[in-house]
Structure 1
Amino acid sequence: RQHFSLGQLNATIRELLEKLNSRPFRKLPGCRLDHFKQLDQPVLQPLPAEPYVYAEWKKARVHIDYHVAIDGHYYSVPYTLIKKEVEVRITHNTIECFHRGNRVASHRRSDQKGRHSTIAAHMPESHRQAGEWTPERLTAWAAKTGPATEKLIRTALGARKHPQQAYRSCLGILRLGQSYGEARLERACQRALMLGSCRYKSIESIL
């Protein structure tokens, strides 16, 4: 027979399979179908309610902005878990975070690198968390380096819906002063402001 689709082929296979299973054994009584009904069918269990979903697991530490980084995207967890380690279950569509065996967060997976998925319930009522880091404290630290650094940090904080989403980047920028010196960091921030880019990677590239 010629078949022009997978559906046609499967229909023919089903027909032949029924014939094969009903064909009497040569040396034993009955057929394959009889043995299935007597031995296998009585002990079969129902299929799972949902299809199996392949998942990968990894461990991640919660940053001071109460987010974990997975493939360049940031997902929130309850702020009480700041600096603690969580287990992350990664599937094609979801990101789930577990702490001590309990699921603490679930997000739809995103492929937008550098962006945040934040659940409001994960945020503290007061933003004075993680060693009292606040936008005011970050800008005060930046001001010690220079006016351009302070302006850049203010701009980075203001560009986010929630300032906490910029904490990771701002701290990274300010710590560059420890590696390159505050004078160089100030000049790099001046150039970054002229270019209109306040991202950590931009500052690091300039330096």
Structure 2
Amino acid sequence: MRITTTATAHYVDSGHYRLTVSRTDASAELEGWLSVNLLASVNTRGGRDETYETLPPVLAERDGVAVFDFPQRTTEWQSKTVRLTCTPETIAVEVRVEGDGVLSDVTLLGGRAVLNTRAAGTFRSGVHARGVFSPTPAHPVNVVRPVSAPVALTVVGDASPGGCTRSSRRRRWCWPSARTRPPGRPRCRTGRGWARPYAPGSPA
């Protein structure tokens, strides 16, 4: 893994992905895939967590792994740190807080904040993918959809009333995405129980 540092950013090239980590705000850019917002909200039963200051990231490298810690000052906790961990093949995001409170909702990859620029509100990450793989039952079958199409991860999926609503025990509770949409309509290969969706070029 190669990391190049300038006054404004860290540039990570793992051989599998390229990531630009900002040194001026809590954000990163995963080339071709995602604009990563590195804020987080960790609400408690007593109040809503809002970040009011973000500090420059602290980089630590060990055993081929790069760890970026983003300290943040917050209304609900004594300290809060969003950690971005980069291995040669994976990227992981987590949040750590210190203080007293009963946890309620936790939001990663974005949250409520007053930025150092004085912009305020709810901030989110952005996806650059053009297609999304949906494992849910649907009628008609639509395995790979445009990212603008609605998708629901539920037991019955988003099939029309009276249509195909059987659930698979091997459901994938995630949405793999693709930068390009596979040509043509997806095909289905029928197995035991629910038909197993298949589309050439779709994420595994």
The question of a shared fold, defined as TM-score above 0.5 by the shorter chain, is answered with no
The structure carrying a bigger strand percent of its residues is 2
Q: Report the structure number with the largest CA radius of gyration.
A: 1
The structure carrying a bigger helix percent of its residues is 1
TM-score, normalised via structure 2 length: 0.28
Query: Taking CA–CA contacts closer than 8 Å with sequence separation of 6 or more, which of the two structures ends up with the larger relative contact order?
Result: 2
TM-score, normalised via structure 1 length: 0.28
